[in-house]
Amino acid sequence: MRDDAIVEAARGIVERLGALEGALLPILHAVQDEFGYLPPACVPVIAKGLNLSRAEVQGVISFYPLFRAKPPGRRVVAICRAEACQAMGGAALEAHAKSALGIGFGETSADGEVTLEPVYCLGNCACPPSVTVDGVLHARVDAQRFDELIGR
């Protein structure tokens, strides 16, 4: 997407949400919902709209794990690393996922198909291990089920 289109969309979002108290996170969520990530071109627009420095906006983006500075793969797969999932083989699932996809956490497969991310608890702790694919939760995921989910 061209930068001027990003700037225009971001400006619209800032106009719509800028009057909220503490508007920065709602604006960043809205921009990310629009583009799938937070394009660098949106930062100056948001900063100007909220009377912040670009560094302040950038600092907020980099603080929160769910804000992306780069576009993700076509599908985002998140594996829970937390204790309840570890109690049911989460670490083995994590190792299997990395080897099956050939990537580590925070990376996207070379064909741009899958981004693999860690997540720290999905609230599905009674039926672990937990995995989400594009935000859809799956329970009691073992290696075989994981392969089915990613279609390999």
Partner 1 sequence: MSVEAFVPADFTACALGADEVAAAVAVAPGVEVRRTGSRGLYWLEPLVEVATDAGRIGFGPLDAASASALFGDGPPDAGHPRCLGLVEELPWLKAQSRLTMARVGVIEPLSVAQYKAHGGFQGLDRARALTSAAIVETVTEAGLRGRGGAAFPTGIKWRTVLEAEGDPKYIVCNADEGDSGTFADRMIMESDPFSLIEGMLIAGLAVGADCGYIYCRAEYPLAIDTLAAAIRLAEGAGYLNDFRLELRKGAGAYICGEETSLLESLEGKRGVIRYRPPLPAIKGLFGQPTVVNNVISLASVPAILARGSDHYRSFGVGRSTGTLTVQLAGNVRRGGLFEVPFGKPLRWVVEDLGGGTASGRPIKAVQAGGPLGAYIPPRHFDTALDYESFQAIDAMIGHGGLVVFDEAADLGALARYAFEFCAEESCGKCTPCRIGAVRGVEVVDRIRRGEAAADNRVLLRDLCRTMIDGSLCGLGGMAPLPVLSVMAHFADEL
- Give contact residues for partner 1 (rule: CB under 8 A): 20-26, 28-29, 50, 56, 59-60, 63-67, 82-88, 91, 119-128, 130, 135, 137-140
Q: E strands of the chain, at which residues? A: 75-80, 107-108, 114-119, 131-133, 136-138
Minimum distance of partner 1 from residue 57's CB (angstroms)? 10
Minimum distance of partner 1 from residue 101's CB (angstroms)? 21
131 token code pair? 């995995």
Q: How far apart are CA 78 and CA 140, in angstroms?
A: 14
Nearer residue to partner 1 within complex by CB, 5 or 91: 91
Token look-up 């994590």 returns 94
Minimum distance of partner 1 from residue 147's CB (angstroms)? 18
Angle separating helix axes 54-63 and 24-35, nearest 10 degrees: 70
Minimum distance of partner 1 from residue 145's CB (angstroms)? 11
Nearer residue to partner 1 within complex by CB, 3 or 134: 134
Nearer residue to partner 1 within complex by CB, 4 or 33: 33
Exposure string over 61-91, b if 16+ CB within 10 A, otherwise e: beeeeebbeeebbebbbbbbbbebbbebbbe
Nearer residue to partner 1 within complex by CB, 73 or 90: 90
